[in-house]
């Protein structure tokens, strides 16, 4: 079973926003995914833009026309 809930980390403890539908003493695996900070988000945006530009150059390469012509034969 997979359940996703939000929590706040305070004083070394995760405080859940809602109770979980689990029996007492249930063993669970916790995965932490923190929200990106302002720097991380702008870095990701810049990286994605650069990746998109690079992919567009490769995708629109006239060198690929040779392969398209061969495929049509």
The model's pLDDT over 30-57, given as tens digits with 9 standing for 90+, comes to 888 877 666 667 788 888 888 998 888 8
What are the Cα distances from residue 57, in Å, to 48, 52, 63? Answer: 14, 9, 11
**Overall average pLDDT of the 15-30 stretch:** 90
E strands along the chain, which residues?
7-10, 13-16
pLDDT at position 40 is 67
pLDDT at position 26 is 93
Mean of all residue pLDDT scores within the chain: 83
3 or 11: which leads in pLDDT:
11
């Amino acid at each position: 079973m997979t359940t996703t809930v939000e929590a706040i980390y305070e004083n070394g403890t995760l405080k859940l926003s809602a109770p979980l539908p689990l029996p007492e003493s249930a063993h669970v695996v916790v995965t932490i995914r923190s929200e990106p900070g302002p720097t991380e988000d702008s870095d990701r945006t810049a990286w994605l833009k650069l990746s998109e530009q690079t992919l567009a150059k490769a995708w629109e390469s006239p060198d690929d026309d040779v392969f398209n012509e061969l495929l049509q034969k």
